[in-house]
């Protein structure tokens, strides 16, 4: 069932037993969409669902919708639903609340659950510990395949998508992994230690989520275990959570480069959009004022050769474009881990070479254009040389600014564009108008 009306009708008109039996046929994502179309009190629908399914809905709901959904239920029912939720999604829910609201939910949980959730909440939300779930299946090396299957049968579908079963020693230290398919194709009395893979790639609990996503991209895993510094397994991270993270990190880089808040949505409010964009435009205004200040130094020169004003946008614009090319490449390179300490010097040299070659080409074209437009060879020389110099400055600053910002701990995507534009505008005008001032006698 994917059709929204069909889903709503099914829930409204079926007895509880039928719902219980067939609810697995409705994907929680489709159910949430259908619920969004229901104009009446959502509890009419939600009350007819089993706890496990409501917990699934909360798992799949957007972080900022989870609490609203949960709040519809009585305190008593809330506790039951929470105990069925995935730990990582519950922590995401709690992460959107203030301390009072958090405590209100936590008081409904049993001691063991509270302890687990408090530990999870203590991790940085953008670290492996902050995104992991604690529902995983672990067995011992000395277990047999048959024992493992029996154990799996006793487990409710509570554990997150167990494609891998983790093998631990008595101290819960991770020893190996057995893919679920290996369990099926092995004879019942096979020992786990004979079929487990020992070389297991895991994420330390404090690893940054961006690095975690690099592991998934590199190896194509469905899930990886998270371990503490003793090698004890604490949880697992599954690929669906990583896709969400990748999408967020992408949008963040792209938006920050353009001066947008990463939370801004196409369908957001006007006020939200103003808050996202106006501050960055005001910062850019400071940049623009610096550029204007540079131009104003040469007003005497411009008054004598007005054609300089005509060519000003060209110098600044092309410098800005070339700078943003290098900048975008470097920001992306940093994000996907392509830039290391060893290859930095080589990349800078390469960018300088590109600046020189592109600068020579564009300088020549613009120089010839300037010569014919103004009818002065000297003018062509001035604009062509300014273009060459600004293109070199553009690639150097497009490289250096993000690298240096990263070194001092500022997100390069956030602030680089402003700095690079300032450099190419100010120096571009300075080269162009300064050169014109020096060569004034040949230009008039």
Binding residues among 348-387 for a second copy as defined by CB under 8 A: 350, 353-354, 357-358, 361-362, 365-366, 369
The first and second tokens of residue 424, run together, are 């190419």
Q: How far is the CB of 172 from a second copy (least distance, A)?
A: 22
Only one of the segments 10-18, 87-95, 166-174, 215-223 lies at the binding site for a second copy (rule: CB under 8 A); that segment is: 215-223
**Residue 138 engages a second copy in binding (rule: CB under 8 A):** no
Q: Which is nearer to a second copy, 55 or 105 (CB)?
A: 55
**Residue 306 engages a second copy in binding (rule: CB under 8 A):** yes
Residues of span 34-63 touching a second copy by CB under 8 A: 60
Residues 6+ apart with CB under 8 A from 414: 256, 405
Give CA angle at 338 (336, 340), nearest 5°: 125
**Residue 219 engages a second copy in binding (rule: CB under 8 A):** yes
**Residue 86 Ramachandran class (φ > 0 left, ψ -120 to 50 alpha, else beta):** beta
Backbone angles phi, psi at 356, to 5 degrees: -65, -50
Which residues sit opposite 254 in a β-bridge? Answer: none
Q: Which is nearer to a second copy, 105 or 400 (CB)?
A: 400
Pairing of strands 138-140, 223-227: unpaired
User: What is the largest distance, in Å, between two alpha-carbon atoms of the chain?
Assistant: 97
Q: How far is the CB of 254 from a second copy (least distance, A)?
A: 5
Q: Which is nearer to a second copy, 81 or 322 (CB)?
A: 322
Residues of span 156-175 touching a second copy by CB under 8 A: 157, 161-163
The gap between the terminal CA atoms of the chain, to the nearest Å, is: 79
Q: What is the DSSP string of 1-16?
A: ---HHHHHHHHHHS-H
- Interaction pattern, residues 73-112, with a second copy; x per rule: CB under 8 A: ----------------------------------------
Only one of the segments 12-20, 82-90, 203-211, 287-295 lies at the binding site for a second copy (rule: CB under 8 A); that segment is: 287-295
Name all contacts of 255-261 with Cβ < 8 Å and 24+ positions apart.
Answer: 256/411, 256/413, 256/414, 257/327, 257/328, 257/331, 257/413, 257/416, 257/417, 258/417, 259/283, 259/284, 259/417, 259/418
DSSP state, 343? T
Name all contacts of 346-354 with Cβ < 8 Å and 24+ positions apart.
Answer: 347/399, 348/396, 348/399, 348/400, 351/326, 351/395, 351/396, 351/398, 351/399, 352/392, 352/395, 352/396, 354/326, 354/395
Element holding 426 (H helix, E strand): helix 412-438
Q: How far is the CB of 80 from a second copy (least distance, A)?
A: 23
Only one of the segments 64-72, 95-103, 126-134, 284-292 lies at the binding site for a second copy (rule: CB under 8 A); that segment is: 284-292
Only one of the segments 41-49, 167-175, 198-206, 228-236 lies at the binding site for a second copy (rule: CB under 8 A); that segment is: 198-206
Could you give the CA distance from residue 67 to residue 58 in angstroms, rounded to a whole number? 8
Cα dist from 6 to 17, 37, 61, 399, whole Å: 18, 12, 20, 55
**Residue 322 engages a second copy in binding (rule: CB under 8 A):** yes
Q: How far is the CB of 118 from a second copy (least distance, A)?
A: 27
**Residue 273 engages a second copy in binding (rule: CB under 8 A):** yes
**Residue 409 engages a second copy in binding (rule: CB under 8 A):** no
**Residue 26 engages a second copy in binding (rule: CB under 8 A):** yes
Residues of span 228-257 touching a second copy by CB under 8 A: 239-240, 242-244, 246-247, 250-251, 253-255, 257
**Residue 185 engages a second copy in binding (rule: CB under 8 A):** yes
**Residue 114 engages a second copy in binding (rule: CB under 8 A):** no
- Helical H segments across 188-343, by residue range: 192-195, 209-219, 239-257, 270-296, 299-304, 307-335
Q: Which is nearer to a second copy, 62 or 124 (CB)?
A: 62
Could you give the CA distance from residue 231 to residue 219 in angstroms, rounded to a whole number? 20
* Number of residues counted as binding a second copy (CB under 8 A): 113
Q: Which is nearer to a second copy, 222 or 404 (CB)?
A: 222
Among 183, 234, 237, 382, binds a second copy (CB under 8 A): 183
Among 45, 109, 180, 348, binds a second copy (CB under 8 A): 180
Q: Which is nearer to a second copy, 149 or 438 (CB)?
A: 149
């Amino acid at each position: 069932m994917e059709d929204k009306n069909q889903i709503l009708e099914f829930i409204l008109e079926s007895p509880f037993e039928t719902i219980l039996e067939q609810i697995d046929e409705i994907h929680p994502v489709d159910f949430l969409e259908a619920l969004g179309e229901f104009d009446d009190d959502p509890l009419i629908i939600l009350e007819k669902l089993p706890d496990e399914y409501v917990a699934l809905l909360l798992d799949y709901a957007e972080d900022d919708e989870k609490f609203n959904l949960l709040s519809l239920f009585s305190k008593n029912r809330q506790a039951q639903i929470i105990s069925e939720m995935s730990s990582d999604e519950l922590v995401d829910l709690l992460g959107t609340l203030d301390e009072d609201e958090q405590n209100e939910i936590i008081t409904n949980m049993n001691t063991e659950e509270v302890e687990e959730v408090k530990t999870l909440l203590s991790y940085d939300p953008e670290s492996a510990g902050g995104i992991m779930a604690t529902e995983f299946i672990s067995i011992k090396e000395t277990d047999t395949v048959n024992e493992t299957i029996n154990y799996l049968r006793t487990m409710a579908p509570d554990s997150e998508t167990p494609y891998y079963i983790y093998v631990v020693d008595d101290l819960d230290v991770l020893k190996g992994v057995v893919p679920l398919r290996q369990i099926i194709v092995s004879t019942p009395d096979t020992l786990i230690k004979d079929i487990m893979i020992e070389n297991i790639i895991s994420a330390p609990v404090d690893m940054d989520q961006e690095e975690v996503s690099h592991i998934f991209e590199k190896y194509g895993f469905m899930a990886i275990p998270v371990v503490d510094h003793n090698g004890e397994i604490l949880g697992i991270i599954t690929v669906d959570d990583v896709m969400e993270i990748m999408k967020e990190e992408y949008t963040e880089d792209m938006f920050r480069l353009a001066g947008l808040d990463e939370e801004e949505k196409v369908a957001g409010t006007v006020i939200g959009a103003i808050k996202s964009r106006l501050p960055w435009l005001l910062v850019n205004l400071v940049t623009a004022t610096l550029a204007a200040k540079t131009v104003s130094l040469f007003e005497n020169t411009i008054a004598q050769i007005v054609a300089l004003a005509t060519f000003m946008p060209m110098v600044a614009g092309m410098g800005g474009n070339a700078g943003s090319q290098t900048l975008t490449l470097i920001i992306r390179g940093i994000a996907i881990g392509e830039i290391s300490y060893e290859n930095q010097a080589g990349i800078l040299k390469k960018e300088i070479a590109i600046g020189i070659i592109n600068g020579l080409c564009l300088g020549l074209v613009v120089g010839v254009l300037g010569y014919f437009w103004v009818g002065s060879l000297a003018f062509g020389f001035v604009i062509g040389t300014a273009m060459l110099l600004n293109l070199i400055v553009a690639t150097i600053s497009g490289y250096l600014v993000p690298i240096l910002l990263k070194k001092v701990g500022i997100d390069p995507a956030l602030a680089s564009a402003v700095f690079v534009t300032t450099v190419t505008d100010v120096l571009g005008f300075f080269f162009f108008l300064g050169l014109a001032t020096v060569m004034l006698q040949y230009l008039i």
